[in-house]
């Protein structure tokens, strides 16, 4: 998979790219690149944003700046780009990110993430350049970069080779294997600490009973979104 992040803060992603599972995914041939909006702006002084028409606080990322950056990088009209790849605008008003969407994105060969800043994007960016608008939660961040990292993190850990153990992805919170529910609790050594004992069944070696206990605990922990 190739993940491109369009941002005003490309160096934030240096740290992100060094995280173990991301580094593993990159070593396995997946790519994470950044595209600096300021490098491509046609405006003087590195300007990328402007005051909102109609008044109001804050600044809005300009559509001509996003157009120039995408055009320079991909060599196509950005209106066409979303026919070739998922182009995701990160915005609090978008589709809420969940495991289903993460699974869907993990199947894509190419994704571009657009990070807004300040008051966000000129709406024409979302309308004409993006294939999707995605939110990581109903709260407002100062920009889309952390949201882009959340999306990249959740997607990249699903890629083959990112985690040491492929079962960790198959049977985890919200996965189909757990009927979309939160994961069961985990325990490790010591088996007893300050009188707090690990449930006997987990020490029993009865795999079928352990499986049934885990499924039951997962069911107790949460309802799925469909209930
Ligand atoms: N940009 C600002 N807030 C955001 C959010 N909650 N999700 C995605 N992008 C954002």
**Domains, in order of start, for the chain:** 2-156 (3.40.1280.10), 170-226 (1.10.1270.20)
User: Strand (E) positions, 49-109?
Assistant: 49-50, 60-61, 86-96
**18 alpha carbon – ligand 1 mean position (Å):** 23
Q: What pLDDT score does 165 carry? A: 61
Ligand 1, CB cutoff 6 Å, lining residues? 90-92, 116, 135-137, 139-141, 144, 147
Which secondary-structure segment (H or E) carries 26? helix 20-27
**110 alpha carbon – ligand 1 mean position (Å):** 21
Q: What pLDDT score does 99 carry? A: 93
Q: What pLDDT score does 179 carry? A: 82
Q: What pLDDT score does 160 carry? A: 83
From 61, 101, 144, 152, mutation site for ligand 1 pocket: most ligand atoms within 8 A of C-beta: 144
Q: Whose CA is nearest to atom 5 of ligand 1?
A: 92
Average pLDDT of the chain, as a whole number: 92
**116 alpha carbon – ligand 1 mean position (Å):** 8
Backbone angles phi, psi at 196, to 5 degrees: -90, 110
**What atom in ligand 1 is closest to the CA of residue 142?**
2
Whether residue 158 is predicted with pLDDT greater than 80 in this model: the reply is yes
Alpha-carbon Rg of the chain, whole angstroms?
Answer: 21
**172 alpha carbon – ligand 1 mean position (Å):** 25
Would the CA dihedral through 159, 162, 167, 169 be positive or negative?
negative
Encode pLDDT of 161-203 as tens digits: 777 666 566 777 788 777 888 889 999 999 999 999 999 999 9
**139 alpha carbon – ligand 1 mean position (Å):** 7
Residue 191 · residue 197 · CB < 8 Å: yes
pTM over 0.75: yes
Q: What pLDDT score does 225 carry? A: 47
Token pair 């109903």 in the structure block, residue: 138
Residue 40 · residue 47 · CB < 8 Å: no
Q: Report how far apart the first and last C-alpha atoms of the chain are (Å, whole number).
A: 34
Closest CA to 92 of 158, 146, 51, 168: 146
SS3 76: coil
Structure-block tokens of residue 123: 């709406």
**140 alpha carbon – ligand 1 mean position (Å):** 5
From 6, 7, 116, mutation site for ligand 1 pocket: most ligand atoms within 8 A of C-beta: 116
Q: Whose CA is nearest to atom 6 of ligand 1?
A: 92
């Amino acid at each position: 998979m190739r993940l491109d992040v369009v941002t005003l803060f490309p160096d934030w992603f240096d740290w992100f790219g060094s995280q173990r599972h991301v580094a593993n995914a990159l070593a396995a041939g997946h790519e994470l690149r950044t595209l600096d909006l300021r490098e491509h702006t046609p405006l003087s002084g590195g300007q990328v944003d402007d005051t909102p028409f109609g008044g109001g606080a804050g600044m809005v990322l300009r559509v001509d700046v996003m157009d120039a950056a995408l055009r320079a990088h991909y060599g196509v009209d950005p209106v066409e780009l979303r026919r070739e790849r998922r182009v995701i605008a990160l915005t609090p008003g978008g589709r809420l990110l969940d495991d289903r969407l993460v699974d869907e994105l993990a199947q894509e060969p190419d994704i571009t993430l657009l990070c807004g800043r300040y008051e966000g994007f000129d709406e024409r960016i979302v309308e004409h350049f993006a294939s999707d608008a995605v939110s990581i939660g109903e709260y407002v961040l100062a920009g889309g970069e952390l949201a882009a990292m959340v999306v990249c993190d959740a997607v990249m850990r699903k890629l083959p080779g990112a985690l040491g153990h492929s079962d960790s992805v198959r049977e985890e919170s919200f996965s189909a294997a757990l009927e979309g529910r939160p994961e069961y609790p985990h325990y490790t050594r010591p088996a007893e600490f300050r009188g707090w004992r690990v449930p006997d069944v987990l020490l029993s070696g009865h795999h079928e009973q352990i499986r049934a206990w885990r499924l039951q605990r997962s069911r107790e922990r949460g309802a799925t979104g469909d209930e």
